[in-house]
Structure 1
Amino acid sequence: MTKPGAPPRDRPGAQRRRRRRGPSAYAVLVALAALAGIMLIPFLVVVFNALKTPQEYTSKGPLAPPSGFDFDAISDFWDRVDFGHVLFNSVLVSGSVAVLAVLLSVFNAYALGIGRIKGRIWLLALLLLANTLPQEALVYPLYYLAKQFGIYDTRLSVIIVFTVVQSAFGTYLLSSVMSAFPRPLLEAARIDGANRWQVLWRVVVPVVRPTLSVLLVFFFVWTWNEFLIPMVFLISNENQTVSVALGVLQGQRLMDATMSSAAALLGLLPTVVFFLIFQRTLSRGLTAGAIK
């Protein structure tokens, strides 16, 4: 017990944390800052070249910073591919896939992890095998099905395909999480009169919400970066996503180095903004399982 007016004593945990902060901790911090700076170099090079004129790029090279801010390359690329509409397509496809794949993963994992349906081990093994299949092996069967159902060259076809593909991984991950769900908590909810639907949304989902937020971010970014299947399924300009528009324009050799950098910058910025917005959600979801 401390005397009145005496400074409060630090708790043992705080003293241990203070003692751990030595030269090694600062060395690790400096090393991480240096690594982050090295990883940002390609992004800075892209920004530099996107703000140059073709003449300045030719005379000074790709690594020199721009002498001014020239937005002609960005403006020309925006108008050439109608980037506003292409960006809307990517946001619509990626956002829809992220939400629908998380919902489908929750329903599947609830049946496999908590419902304990028969053959769950074989179903999980099948989902794990589906995650290892290359997309090249899926292109023709999916193309044939899309033609048969009349949804080829529509954004709906890509949304359906990637919702199923992404939910295979989400189901496998969530089923392992839900299989370790506390059974007394489920039994208490059932004793209180909750049905299966209420147990799912009022008991299970609030507990696994950090994992769901991580899956939502990952599904959005993964779908945004997809190229092969959208390139095969979205052949018209009005349905193309950002990655497909960039690839098609590069293949036609209609861009110089500055416009290519502008295209890369415009294609990268939405995912960076999305990641920065949900950074805290992602970090909380990744560390939630380590804290009881």
Structure 2
Amino acid sequence: MGWTEDGTGAPRQPDGRRQALLPCTLGFPPKRGGGASNKPSSIIHIPAFLSNRVCLRKQANPIHSIPIRSSLESCRALTVVVVVAPASDTPIFVQATGLPSGWEVRHSNSKNLPYYFNPSTKESRWEPPSGTDSETLKHYMGTYHSSASLRPDGQGQQEGKIRASHLLVKHRDSRRPSSWREAQITRSKDDAMTIILGHEARIRSGATSLGDLATTESDCSSSRKRGDLGFFGKGDMQKEFEDAAFALKPGEVSHVVETASGLHLIERLE
């Protein structure tokens, strides 16, 4: 397409204007009559796409859209884009993740959870990196990493291990004050306590379940699995969390448990 890279790795248009990367993930067009659930927000032919100073670039396997910096926010707002190549009528769906340049969402087979990975630096983390667009990431994760698509692996309980789910509310003094919901968490511990006590009251009243609340309100990436942490044994978790979880009977929900990660409600599943 006539795009080049300069020494900094920032793509430039032929006229020299520098671009910024917006990571995206390749999706697939719906089949006719298939009742596709996620319709694109717009269909753009390549010439029109380029005239808006946006194009596609393939890097290491993921598909990236490249808007100019001044248009970055408006481009992020367009979470689903369809591009029709000039030589084909087959659209390519591109779903923005909201992550900073160079980052992508991957899936951990061992923990059955999504995580964030930077192929260039080889850095991986459970929480979104700084500079993440939280709303775009929330939309993306809800579409591709929701609890509906991430199910327990069905393995039986291992000896000496239990299975539990939790709901985590972080605060500014948490060990990592960021989450998939908020790139930078600024609430105080008192505010976090007020929030989680409200969640506990709703659960105990029967108005909702811990799993349902965890899906939308938990600051842990396990929210994609309704807070399910799978099976774990002694020494696998922080001591305060572990002690509270092992003290529960299956089906019981703990009161608020405080760890270095934040404030938790724990439900023992098995």
TM-score normalised per structure 2 = 0.20
| Structure ranking higher in helix proportion | 1
| Structure ranking higher in strand proportion | 2
Q: Which has the higher contact order (CA 8 A, sep 6+)?
A: 1
TM-score normalised per structure 1 = 0.19
User: Which one has a bigger Cα radius of gyration?
Assistant: 1
